[in-house]
Amino acid sequence: MPNYTVTIATGNQWFAGTDDYVYITLVGSEKCSERTLLDKPLYNDFERGAVDSYDVRVGEDLGDIVLVKIEKKKYWMQDDWYCRYVTVKTPDGDYVEFPCFRWLVDDKEVVLRDGRAFLPQDDKTSLVKQHRQKELDTRRKTIRWKEWQPGIPMSIDSNKHRDLPRDIQFDSEKGVDFILNYSKAIENLCVNRFMHMFQSSWSDFGDFEKIFVRIKNTISEYVMQHWKEDFMFGYQFLNGCNPVLIRKCTKLPDTFPVTHEMVSVSLEREMTLEQEMEAGNLYIVDFEILEGISANCTDPQTVQYLAAPICLLYKGVQNKILPIAIQLGQNPDKNPIFLPTDGQYDWLLAKIWVRSADFQYHQNVTHLLRTHLITEVFAIAMFRQLPAVHPVFKLLIPHIRFTIAINTKAREQLICEHGIFDKANATGGGGHVQLIQKATKDLTFRSLCFPDAIKSRGVDSEEDLPTYFYRDDGYKVWDATKSFVSDVVSIYYNSDERVREDEEIQAFVKDACSFGMQDFDHCEFPKSLKSLDELIEYLTVVIFTASAQHAAVNFGQYDWCSWIPNAPSTMRKPPPQEKGLANVNTIIETLPDRGRSSWHLGAVWALSQYQENELYLGMYPDEHFIEKPVKAAMEKFRKKLSEITGFIKGRNEGKKLPYYNMSPDKIPNSVAV
């Protein structure tokens, strides 16, 4: 009588084990085994982290094992179980691996295919074709599109984290409770005595130190010491939290009438302003998108303000980027142009207003829209259109891990009406939605392609901007990621025709465009892929956005935003429309009060923390792929990433302002915080 040995691995997550009844059925190419009970309740099998083996005896040879069915039946109470994988040893001594990496909930069965990846056109038997389609049909019933707000990318149809399918929830909901985490952060930072002190201003700049936590050798302390200086202001547009806005200025906007006479004292070469522009030495950051956005009015006792400034930057002979002109609104008739030659506090207040505008843009557009929400679009489309056996599903699944969960939790607690975001941010109370809606109109697929985004802003030249480390490190990580994607997909697609014939991959990109991006005319997301090169670029965008780009704009938040005057989350006085009126008191009364400062500090601290047991770029402990060529590609990828990390560490040695936000050893695989 043929004997099969079945080995099952249980996950290491909390509560991953089960005391329920577990049954297995082996489906072969010739025959199907009887449903076999593997474990009786309370026998201590299927415990957290356990690997258990069982014999399954059958009457005759089953042929090649094609599918494995696992069922969990309730013993006493519902007891979810996380199965990592199943390995079947055949009577001939061969081993067949069946990756699972899924939760078994209620009394439903899970049907697994072996670990080899197959394109839909390569499945020949009706058995595997039906399994493939049934898996997608089941997923589409629970993973549905929903419009969270009109005019922005679509989200998951779920109002609460606990209502999500178990497989896309966090392992523990406690770890991602924003209210709990922010409160813990405020307590750990010893600022809880200030968190309810709304409307209470600080006494002076030094007073902000009462909530500033010094950690030796951190960027944040350097920022605190140098935040007033022009070089620090300019440097942040290159390597701060929001290094995506600075662009070469080839023509001044009509709304920004800067003249040579205004800025001549700031120019270091014997050239006119026009000549400096033609030489490529002028850069601009324009926050026009903030014009007309409603400021937070959720607290009737505190009027809050937003501005839409324009800032002209100059590259001096030492290659430092310095501000030389700032206008705090889009209408030049109502907004004077502030200059470094103005009074000390006029110029400082103008720079603070730009920093506050940059903070709003960063939080809502650079971070939330262009990493979190976009990655969720790709994740939902993937789950709906690609079965687990598809090589692209196996490639992408580590990079969308927990993204739908963190976004759902954010919509539940953080960016919802009366959410945490309303407490301390000038774009709270609905302004954030307006801003994301406006920014979505500028969001194109090409703007997600890192090299294209850099080039479109005219900042691709290393000679012009030798200290733009975000760009330089980003190029390296983009190229390494693209090479890895190419190595993997080329194993399964050996021609452009193979890409065009893949109905599932075509459905994936169409779903992302037609539903995820709601077919917005301006977005230019592809609805189909016609070549292998297009597929490689598309998947590189998905992985890079979810990993490197998110890391670059997320994990430096405490470094750059914990010193409140350098990144005010709100402003309590309107932007000045006259010169000569600013002093220390007016600036302090404009900056966030003690309560909002404390909530802001807790937020940037919590958002900057890596998860426990974080999986960084190139780490793939869940073996969705079993093919040796793919594992070789992963090893090559890790080696290249290690080289990049080594280069960045060497460059950072001895620097007072090291840049490490694009270092692969600090880039998590996915958007999960």
The binding site comprises 17, 39, 79-80, 367, 372, 550
Rounded CA separation 267/339 (Å): 12
> Within 13 Å, how many C-alpha atoms sit on residue 283's CB side?
24
Query: Among positive and negative, which fits the CA dihedral 480, 482, 485, 486?
Result: negative
Closest CA to 428 of 368, 352, 507, 349: 368
Is the distance from CB of 121 to CB of 32 less than 8 angstroms?
no
Say if residues 594 and 182 touch (Cβ distance below 8 Å): no
Distance of alpha carbon 602 from alpha carbon 186, whole angstroms:
5
Check: CB of residue 274 under 8 Å from CB of residue 263.
Answer: no
Q: Residue 69: name the closest of 24, 129, 107, 38 by CA.
A: 24
Q: Are 5 and 54 in contact (CB under 8 A)?
A: yes
| Known binding residues for Ca(2+) | 17, 39, 79-80
**Three-state secondary structure call for residue 511:** helix
Q: How far apart are CA 336 and CA 577, in angstroms?
A: 6
Sorted by sequence, the CB contacts under 8 Å of residue 48 that are 6+ apart come out as 10, 11, 12, 13, 14, 15, 16, 17
> What is the C-alpha to C-alpha distance for residues 571 and 305, in angstroms, rounded to an integer?
5
Residue where the block lists tokens 């995820």: 516
Q: Which residue do the tokens 């016609």 mark?
A: 530
How do strand 81-89 and strand 95-104 relate by DSSP bridges?
antiparallel
Q: Using CA atoms of 154, 156, 159, 165 in order, give the dihedral in degrees to the nearest 10.
A: 180
Phi-psi region of 37 (alpha: psi -120 to 50; beta: other; left: phi over 0): beta
DSSP state of 415: S
Best CA proximity match to 500, nearest among 527, 472, 473: 527
Backbone angles phi, psi at 613, to 5 degrees: 60, 40
Report CA 271 to chain centroid distance, whole Å. 43
Cβ neighbors of 428 (< 8 A, separation 6 or more) are 296, 298, 419, 421, 422
Alpha carbons 357 and 362: distance in angstroms, whole number: 9
Report the distance separating Cα 289 and Cα 247, nearest Å.
15
Q: Is 246 in a helix, a strand, or coil?
A: coil
Identify the CA nearest to 383 among candidates 128, 112, 116, 145. Answer: 145
Query: Which residue, chain included where needed, has tokens 């801003």?
Result: 435
Strand, coil or helix: 668: strand
Pairing of strands 65-73, 21-28: antiparallel
Cα(414)–Cα(231) distance, integer angstroms: 34
CA separation for the pair 238, 128 (Å, rounded): 51
Annotated binding site for Fe cation: 367, 372, 550
| Contact between residue 244 and residue 453 where contact means Cβ atoms under 8 Å apart | yes
- Helical axes 374-385 vs 503-511, angle rounded to 10°: 150
Q: Which of 198, 200, 203 is nearest to 584 (CA)?
A: 203
How far apart are the C-alpha atoms of 604 and 211, rounded to whole Å?
13
Task: State how far the Cα of 424 lies from the Cα of 298, in Å rounded to an integer.
Answer: 10
